[in-house]
Structure 1
Amino acid sequence: MTEPLNIAVLSIHSSPIGTLGTGDTGGMSIYLLELVRALAERGHKIDIFTRVLVRGDAPLIEYGSRIRIIQLQVPGTENLVKNKLFGYLPDYQREIDKFCQQQHASYHIVHSNYWLSAVVGDSLQSTWGCPHLITFHTLARFKMAARQDHVENPLRVEEESRLLARCDGVMVATATERDQLATLAESAKTPVHLVPLGVDFDRFKPLPDAVEKVTRSRRRPPVILFVGRFDPMKGVDTAVKALALLDEEIEPELHLVGGDSPESEAEVRLVSLVDDLGLQGRVRFNGSVDHQRMPEMYRQADIVVVPSYYESFGLVVLEALASGIPAAVTPTGIAVETIIPDLNGYFAAIGDSRSLARAMTDALALARHQDPFLIRRSVQSYDWSRVADLVFSVYSGALLRSETC
């Protein structure tokens, strides 16, 4: 199929234009915006359905050529965390149906992101009669397997299994997730497609060689960068503990990008940990940073640390490597497929601050002599143009199968 498609993208719980690094907004938002931009450049029309996060926000935003963001207004849900949204999903579906009737909109494909959106997408598929594809981004059973103290609502586990059996295909971002899903998907006879995320190489890139060397020589102490939500699954506390174990002669700083606010429970706990370890002045809380500023944040860092217990992908790894910055990581998400020791980073055991301290030390040493452009070339195949082509191929296959049923 080569003609342009009308695509309905569902992101009910998290707005793609929300504040990154806070609450329920993270890498998925970047994925959605970059993907739809690349699809729109190929002539496809995309409507993204999400919820209003601030009362009074415009119900419809023209987000560039051929992209619309429809912010669904369901009273009482603006400030709800995602775990409280399930009971309101029929209301969101009714708002989508109302919009489509008013706009005379119809779609070739429904692409749901996260399980809550997939519940709505499953119902819309029954009404619209078009293929329904899901990118779960995270799966409850895998998160619980990653941390013994992590608990998920049994309803989510049940719904994810049901949706996996009913949809027309699932897109996963890593080979690890594909293999984890293989048994479940095989029993459900659901196609599983490997479609990685990408990175904008025009924005995320090293400084020119001469400037890079001068900048690094002047940067004292070294900077270790963490980017992400202050969620226990992200392991930021492990990074803080690892910092305390590093050689006192190096005394690097840990710069944290993310978090809801200084008053949030997660940040208060982190500040307390920093105080207990005597790291005042060596840990900088930067708060949420607009994604447009992130290339600058990476270039100001010596290394990036990604100490997650579980990642369905881990976009920060790609952005760091594209910027020529080595990474100290746990073996989760895309890091498993991209990190090559002595070339672009080092691995640490999950939840092990001593192991992470060793990986951070090795990455800092690597940063002092490695060519940033060698690091960048290690991820050169992960561009959004290629991702869009893969997604379109999945869409086309689903449409072809639906026509032959």
Structure 2
Amino acid sequence: MRVAVITVHGCPVRQAGSKDSGGMNIYILEMVKRMAARGIQVDVFTRHHDPLDPEVVTLSPGARLIHLPSGSPSIDKTGLYDLLPEFSSQMRRFCVDNRLGYEIVNTHYWLSGLVGIRLASEWGVPHITSFHTMAVLKQLSRPEEKEVPQRYSSEIELASAADSIVVWTQNEKDSIVKYTGINGSKIRIIPPGVDLGRFRPMSKVQSRAHLGYGSQKNILFVGRLEPLKGLDRLFKAIASLKNSSPVILNVVGGDDNSLEKTRLKAISEQMNITKSVRFVGSVSQNDLPYHYSAADICVLPSYYESFGLAALEASACGRPVVASDVGGLPTIVSNGISGFLVPPNRIDLMAEKLRDLLENDLLRHRMGVAARRSSESFSWDRSADSLLESYRDLVPKPKLSASSVAGG
């Protein structure tokens, strides 16, 4: 079987936490490699994000990443809608030039889904898609969120046109049914996994020494720097802890020159917590476990989070998680057992739960052990097996000829 994976804006080899790169990119890379290991030929199509990007990159035996020219590499995802016809044309050209055909199209995010609708129809093959986020949910969670106007109707079109939809949680499935009006029978829940060998409990002392950190209590945030992640709310909680439970907040993720980083630095100055906030920037997947293990607590203060892969990675490293009670985060964090879930906008309660954990070593340890145990139920291999089953359900089985049935 040969599969075309389309991820217009999210290149799976870009460093997670940088611009437009996060859990979706990690998911695509992990799944593609495992599909290839199961004998599936996979080509991943994305746009050039750097002028030096080679056209074809081998991800693993049987899996390739194909960069297609489509507008300026500096354009972010909010400017890509008008470039979709060009991207589709470049993808057609590459397939014709290389005499490629595919048995299934698998798309990620609404922009890629629109490309997938057209190409899957032209090629007469099934189309399976994943939303990862929905415009309406982001808008409801944080009304200030600005979205491309075409996204709302496009997501309804995509939900209707796709042959199958893969989601990570029951919450995501329910939301798609509610806001697009489709029948939920074509939606399949396949949770992502976590690399339990890479993300594992390690010595806090050794991890801090590796990173050059001191012995002061510290809290960790991992993710892209964007308003929806809720760092402004976490800053308020940190400010309220400054006198009673002094702590360092390490912010892992984001680009040095981003507008959001500038905004967050200004907020930290206004709150007089600049000495309590360390902007680390994006780090490699190999270094990320040290940051989790160096932390006392991991926090996801998001306004909305369709899943929250950082919470799962932190849990695998044996760290309790304090997270907003939104989206898919309750799938990962068991309230009062492996961490705490806080109602949105309850900054006072977030600060209270952080204080409880910072001041109680036994509670942190007990929740960290429970978090690791809970994370062990998530597996990339199980995710890949389930996705492969979805592929096979969609691809028509070859019909047996009369002679083959008769044994001739």
Please confirm whether the aligned pair reaches a TM-score higher than 0.5, indicating the same fold: yes
Residue 107 of structure 1 aligns with which residue? 102
2:54 to 49, 53, 58: 58
Q: Is the 8 A contact 1:77 1:85 kept in 2?
A: no
Question: Which of 301, 315, 330 is equivalent to 1:321?
Answer: 315
TM-score by length of structure 2 reads 0.91
CA 1:13–1:118: 2 relative to 1, 3 Å: same
Corresponding residue of 2:290? 296
CA–CA separation in structure 1 for the residues paired with 2:377 and 2:391:
21
**1:92 aligned to 2:114?**
no
Shift of 1:196: 1.0
* Paired residues of 1:7 and 1:108 also in contact (CA < 8 A): yes
Unaligned residue ranges in structure 2 (runs of 5+):
400-408
Give 1:270 shift.
1.0
Matched, 1:392 2:388: yes
Distance 1:222 1:209 in 2: 11
Mean CA deviation greater in 202-211 or 355-364 = 202-211
Quote the Cα distance in structure 1 between the aligned partners of 2:140 and 2:282.
29
Change (3 A) 1:363 1:170: farther
Query: d(CA) in 1 for partners of 2:192 and 2:140?
Result: 23
Report the Cα distance in structure 1 between the residues aligned to 2:280 and 2:243, rounded to whole angstroms: 23
Q: Is the 8 A contact 1:164 1:190 kept in 2?
A: no
Contact 1:111–1:134 (CA under 8 A) maintained in structure 2? yes
The one of 259, 271, 274 equivalent to 2:268 is: 274
What is the CA-CA distance between 1:184 and the residue it aligns to? 4.9
Counterpart residue type for residue 105 of structure 2: V
Shift of 1:18: 1.6
Shift in Å, 1:166:
0.8
In structure 1, what is the Cα distance between the partners aligned to 2:238 and 2:170? 31
Query: Which of 222, 228, 231 is the aligned partner of 1:233?
Result: 228
Task: Look up the SS of the partner of 1:292 in the other structure.
Answer: coil
Q: Contact conserved, 1:322 with 1:375, CA < 8 A, in 2?
A: yes
Q: 1:123 to 1:280 in 2, by over 3 A?
A: same
Partner of 1:153: 148
2:275 is paired with a residue whose SS is coil
Query: What secondary structure, in the 3-state scheme, does the structure 2 residue paired with 1:324 have?
Result: coil
Please give the alpha-carbon distance, in whole angstroms, between the structure 1 residues aligned to 2:392 and 2:355: 47
Q: CA deviation at 1:37?
A: 1.4
Q: Indicate whether 1:307 and 2:301 are aligned.
A: yes
How far apart are residue 348 of structure 1 and its match? Answer: 1.4
Q: How big is the shift at 1:23?
A: 2.0
Cα distance, 1:402 vs structure 2: 11
Amino acid in structure 2 at the alignment position of 1:248: N
Change (3 A) 1:209 1:79: closer
Aligned partner of 1:374 in structure 2 is 370
Please give the per-residue CA displacement for 1:2-36, whole angstroms capped at 9, x wherever unaligned.
xxx21111010121112321221111110111111
For the residue of structure 2 that corresponds to 1:245, the secondary structure is helix
What is the SS of the residue equivalent to 2:144? coil
Shift in Å, 1:308: 0.5
Cα deviation, residue 374, structure 1: 3.2
1:53 is paired with a residue whose SS is coil
Root-mean-square deviation (CA, aligned residues, Å) is 2.4
> Which residue does the alignment assign to 1:23?
19
Report what 2:404 is aligned to.
none
Per-residue deviation at 1:397?
Answer: 1.7
Q: Is the 1:304–1:327 Cα contact (8 Å) retained in structure 2?
A: yes
The corresponding residue for 1:73 is: 69
Whether 1:197 and 2:192 are equivalent positions in the alignment is: yes
How many Å apart are 1:174 and its aligned residue?
A: 1.0
Q: Does 1:135 align with 2:115?
A: no
State the partner residue of 1:348: 342
The alignment partner of 1:106 has SS state of: coil
Contact 1:223 1:255 in 2 (8 A): yes
In the superposition, relative to structure 1, how do residues 175 and 402 fare at CA in structure 2: closer, same or farther (>3 Å)? farther
Of all paired residues, the percent bearing the same amino acid is: 35
* Equivalent residue letter for 1:124: L
**Which whole-Å CA distance do the structure 2 matches of 1:62 and 1:245 have between them?**
49
Is the counterpart of residue 257 in structure 1 residue 240 in structure 2? no
Change (3 A) 1:95 1:402: farther
Task: Specify the alignment match of 1:339 in structure 2.
Answer: 333
Shift of 1:67: 0.8
Matched length: 395
In structure 2, the CA distance between the partners of 1:186 and 1:274, relative to structure 1 (3 Å rule), is: closer
What amino acid is the match of 1:20?
A
Question: What code does the residue aligned with 1:334 have?
Answer: G
